[in-house]
Amino acid sequence: MSFNYEYPRALNTVDAIIISKKENKILLIKRLYEPFKNFWALPGGFIEMEETLLESVKREVLEETSLDNINLREFKVYGDPGRDPRGRTITFVYYGYCDSPELAQAGDDAKELAWFSLNELPDLAFDHKKIIDDFLSLLI
């Protein structure tokens, strides 16, 4: 049985904050496509209908960074209107620590990736600067 509602619904995504334990840096990907093409962003993307949120974020991290051994934990949910120009989007943010940053390689819709100092971040897509700032405020 299928239900259809006439009311608009939000899109759902997942994002990952991945910190290198060795260098205290954060992993960012450069977006291959619009919106925010060529901007740096947290690895992430849209959930698949048959996945749990954790399965979605693990898949996105693997597809975009080649990393598959990150223990990801829930951090926070972001859903302010206007955070994504494609429409109302709610993202479920996870975080984890990487023991082998040298294994990260760009893939899927990540044009490239790089590890950035937490004190020297580039211009970021969406509201990812706010997300990272919120995460860092918990570490202080």
The residues annotated with a catalytic role in the active site are 112
Tokens representing 76 are: 């926070």
Tokens representing 110 are: 């990540």
Q: Which of 56, 57, 55 is nearest to 42 (CA)?
A: 57
Are 97 and 21 contacting, i.e. CB atoms less than 8 angstroms apart? yes
Helix, strand, coil fractions of the chain, as percent rounded to 5: 20, 35, 45
Parallel/antiparallel/unpaired status of strands 11-20 and 73-78: unpaired
Distance in angstroms (rounded) separating the CA atoms of residues 108 and 84: 20
Helices H, strands E: what count in the chain?
Answer: 2, 7
- Amino acid letter, residue 104: A
